[in-house]
Amino acid sequence: MAKNYKNYTNKEMQAITIAKEIKDGQIVIVGTGLPLIGATVAKNKFAPNCKLIVESGLMDCSPIEVPRSVGDLRLMGHCAVQWPNVRFIGFETNEYLNGNDRMIAFIGGAQINPYGDLNSTIIGDDYIRPKTRFTGSGGANGIATYSNTVIMMQHEKRRFIDKIDYVTSVGWAGGPGGREKLGLPGNRGPLAVVTDKGVLRFDEKTKRMYLAGYYPGVTIEDIVENTGFEIDTSRAVQLEAPSEEIIKMIREDIDPGQAFIKVPVEE
């Protein structure tokens, strides 16, 4: 039976939207999962000269199949340099200190506020005895400090809230000048939030999040209902559906084992 590549999922749409955020020639900090799927799509279709790096210290990676971790041999076997982690941190910092603006990074969290500040540490107002404790920053705080970021989230009301329980990675810190008040670079920060429903960006003047695009099959009303703060939708447009060619590449070449994206079961 012929395979169906028209029945794309919102998660596949999310990975492709991630790919389109990457410009040719950029250095891309990725983790595993959707960011790496998106970055691999970008390298194959939209930005062939982008360079993928991971915080374990592997530079200029070109995985054929999506790895399961940042130390996976599928990354190591197709990279230019295998550095220790500390060299990655130094490289990231030096990019900023030398005035380079060629780096973009993908991070996520459990909660996000209207200005792109992220929480991936605790749920609850008691740090010592929280309701839930997560793994914490990893490298995300340093990445959010020195690099422009794209944030990946599931679009749920409990995640998009006015006041997050803990600031793990700083976004625009309340608006214009917020980062500078904290001693952070004001010319770095979150560029977009890519969810399973659409893409949100930050207003150039206010630095507040607004809805920029939504996926086919998703409504603006659905996004508003799943956002726990007031969101501007006046600039929102419906995004273009993906080509069958790209869906086939994701399913057959990049994630054939369905480690991160499950293929819909045909009736």
**What are the catalytic residues?**
55
Beta bridge partners of 50: none
Cα angle, residue 56 at apex, residues 148 and 261 outer, rounded to 5°: 75
End-to-end CA, the chain: 13
Our measurement of the distance from residue 103's CA atom to the centroid of its chain's CA atoms, rounded to an integer in Å, reads: 13
C-alpha distances out from residue 88 to 39, 82, 143, Å: 18, 10, 11
Phi-psi region of 60 (alpha: psi -120 to 50; beta: other; left: phi over 0): left
What is d(CA 160, CA 179) in angstroms, rounded to the nearest whole number? 20
**Burial classification of residue 104, based on how many CB atoms lie within 10 Å of its CB (0-12 exposed, 13-18 middle, 19 or more buried):** buried
